[in-house]
Amino acid sequence: MSLQRITNIPRRQAIPILYTRGTHYEVGYDVGRTFAAIIKNFLQLSGPLNESYLPLYNTEEGRKVYNATLESVKRSFPQYVRELEGTADGAQVEFHKLFLLHLDEILPVAVDGINSINQPIGCSTICVNEPGCEILAHTEDALSEVLNHYYFVSAHIISDSPQGKYNVIEERFTSLCYAGHLPGYTMNYNHHGLVFSINTLSARSLVSGKTPRHFITRALLSAENFIQAQQILRDHGVGAADGCSINMTFLRQEGDRLFHNAEMGPATVGADQSHLNIFTASPGECIIHANKYLRLPVPEMTGLIIDSSIERMKTFGGFQAPKSVHDVIKMLGDTSAREHTVFREKGPKDVIKTVCVGIFDCIKRTWTLYSDNPKFNAPLVVLPLTLREQ
């Protein structure tokens, strides 16, 4: 089938899930084998991959950026490279295509200094910390080809020896994954009680030889506590190649519930760790974040991702501070904005769509997933948050 004839199908009310246990490679292989059709179709549909990343990969300068970044990741996180190799082998697709997806805009920005997508991509997150209501809620917004190309991975990984720069032996987590992508970059929780979601941020300057954010957030799935989470985000010795916002809480923390928003900026040339700014919401406070730096002074790309974030934050500003799940659903399901709505589903020609909405309830310890606008639709699934026995 030629690339020109491949089209996505309308929104489906379906989110497949895989339960898998094994080594990093075995888990990756199971993911690839199970979701091979979805992964192959996504690789054919992906505009950035086929129109930007692959052409740049086939240039001398692009290959230098690719190789320098891959070698850096292999030094820090060889286990996650093996995991991705397993996914490629299981799905019977080329590894370099999957790794290019994880480089994201590092390649075009590092080579040409341009944002090759320039679309209003990104997600919105709301954390509410009120008596009887402790929730982290998130819209998963992405290029329209991501619609119907995502799945849950619930994995238990046990290694014979310490893995990677943090000497991890065991990981157990559930993550919503884009097709062909490592777990960790959307909505997630692990068996230590870490719950987190990601907002893409577009720093202006990205460099090769650093750690792509996808691998940092994959490593975050191993974090046992807030101190370890900060260590992983700072990525001492290397630093992030690009930026994102991480919204998180730990279900087993002592004392009052705390939610954290960490803005991570890429390590500048010559620096060996990410830039990091953390805001903490205590009881009675909330966090609202989209796809623009609010505190960390990182120069950003101009364009639709910023315009969209500004308009969505303006929409949120028209609501009273959320106090309940109902309040959050109204906000995340809002479609009132003139151009960049919070929930994105204007029509079949949308470049960006909200592919799903998730709500983590820290009191009930549940993860509720909506495959359509939560204002008008019942959840598709409610998953229990299963933690490690103490």
Comparing CA positions, the residue from 230, 205, 232 lying closest to residue 77 is 232
DSSP 8-class letter at 296:
S
Q: What pLDDT tens digit does each residue of the chain (390 aa) get?
A: 334 445 778 888 999 999 999 999 999 999 999 999 999 999 999 999 999 999 999 999 999 999 999 999 999 999 999 999 999 999 999 999 999 999 999 999 999 887 766 777 789 999 999 999 999 999 999 888 888 889 999 999 999 999 999 999 999 999 999 999 999 999 999 999 999 999 999 999 998 999 999 999 999 999 999 999 999 999 999 999 999 999 999 999 889 999 999 999 999 888 999 999 999 999 999 999 999 999 999 999 888 889 999 999 999 999 999 999 999 999 999 999 989 999 998 766 678 899 999 999 999 999 999 999 999 999 999 999 999 987
Cα separation, 103 vs 71, in Å, equals 13
Which tokens go with 140? 């998963």
**pLDDT reported for residue 11:** 87
Cα separation, 295 vs 298, in Å, equals 9
Q: Record the pTM.
A: 0.95
Comparing CA positions, the residue from 194, 205, 181 lying closest to residue 233 is 194
CB atoms near residue 378 (< 10 Å)? 8
SS3 150: strand
Domains of the chain in sequence order: 17-111+121-384 (3.60.60.10)
Comparing CA positions, the residue from 56, 175, 124, 98 lying closest to residue 344 is 124
CB atoms near residue 59 (< 10 Å)? 13
